[in-house]
Amino acid sequence: MRRVLVANTKGGCGKTTLATNLAGYLAQLGHKIVLEDLDRQQSSASWLARRPAHVATVFNAEDLGKSALQKADWVIADSPGALSEKKISDAVAEADLVLVPIAPSAFDIGATQDFLALLAEEKAVRKHKTFVGLVGMRVMPRTHSAERLLTFMDESGFAVLSMLRSSQIYVTAAEEGLSIFELSNTLKEVDIAQWNPVTDWILQNS
Ligand SMILES: Nc1ncnc2c1ncn2[C@@H]1O[C@H](COP(=O)(O)OP(=O)(O)OP(=O)(O)O)[C@@H](O)[C@H]1O
Ligand SMILES: [Mg+2]
């Protein structure tokens, strides 16, 4: 079992979007996927509840015992914005991979700077037991703010995986309990191409 933590102490940066889409992607490849919703808002859990019967199952950690959880191929944890330093430490130590979504605004970059500094200090990260990958979220291509976000990510010292554009298909997929990979919308090709480096990074670490 491999564990992916999706985290950033900045609220609304795209954690649930990243976690649910990754879960849907890996499930449709045939992997046994468990989604663990650590957020009191339970957005990931409500996405699971909306999932139609015809798509690959994603299990809710809440419904599984410890041994069933251990038998999963991947556990993907969606975390809340408000996470204490102690909880961050514990969650990072437990994870094989940490995905950090970052939205392109001065507020998001400012808040994420502190979070990345915390991550860099974590023993598991320093000892290369836990790997960190950054993903730009809700990016408007060819804007100054997209450029500023990319510069910030490049200078962080962490792996920069991709920049996912702002697209209504994320909103539609979320409403339907789907990942964008499971939508029958032909306009999603650009978005899927943007996901390739993220899914490659995840699978390389399996
Ligand atoms: N690439 C995208 N294109 C369009 N909308 C997006 C994209 N990524 C995220 N969103 C939207 O941005 C909003 C915030 O995303 P999301 O809920 O995933 O963030 P979060 O970090 O989980 O928030 P919270 O801290 O409240 O848990 C949602 O309405 C989501 O649909
Ligand atoms: Mg969320």
Q: Evaluate if residue 50 carries a pLDDT over 80.
A: yes
Q: What is the pLDDT of residue 45?
A: 97
Q: What is the pLDDT of residue 131?
A: 97
pLDDT tens for residues 112-170?
Answer: 999 999 999 999 999 999 999 999 999 999 999 999 999 999 999 999 999 999 999 99
CATH of the domain at 59: 3.40.50.300
Q: What is the pLDDT of residue 66?
A: 87
For 79, the domain range is 2-204
pLDDT tens for residues 16-32?
Answer: 999 999 999 999 999 99
138 lines ligand 1 (CB under 6 A): yes
Ion ligand 2, residues whose Cβ is below 5 A away: 15-16, 43
Q: How far is the CA of 139 from the centre of ligand 1 (A)?
A: 12
Q: Averaged over 160-183, what is the pLDDT?
A: 96
Atom of ligand 1 nearest to the CA of 171: 31
Q: How far is the CA of 23 from the centre of ligand 2 (A)?
A: 14
Q: How far is the CA of 132 from the centre of ligand 2 (A)?
A: 19
Q: Evaluate if residue 67 carries a pLDDT over 80.
A: yes
Q: What is the pLDDT of residue 184?
A: 85
Q: Evaluate if residue 107 carries a pLDDT over 80.
A: yes
Query: What is the domain count for the chain?
Result: 1
11 lines ligand 1 (CB under 6 A): yes
Atom of ligand 1 nearest to the CA of 80: 27
Which ligand has its closest atom nearest to the C-alpha of 101?
A: 1
Higher-confidence position of 17 and 66? 17
Q: What is the pLDDT of residue 198?
A: 98
Distance between CA 54 and CA 62 in Å, rounded?
A: 22
Task: Tell me how far CA of residue 111 lies from CA of 7, 103, 106, 127, 137, in angstroms.
Answer: 13, 11, 9, 25, 15
> Which among 137, 134, 138, 140 is positioned nearest to 155, based on CA atoms?
134
Cβ distance 95 to 4 under 8 Å?
A: yes
> Which among 4, 29, 14, 13 is positioned nearest to 182, based on CA atoms?
29
Report helix, strand or coil for 169.
Answer: helix
Q: How far is the CA of 84 from the centre of ligand 1 (A)?
A: 21
Q: Evaluate if residue 187 carries a pLDDT over 80.
A: no
Q: What is the rounded average pLDDT for all residues in the chain?
A: 95
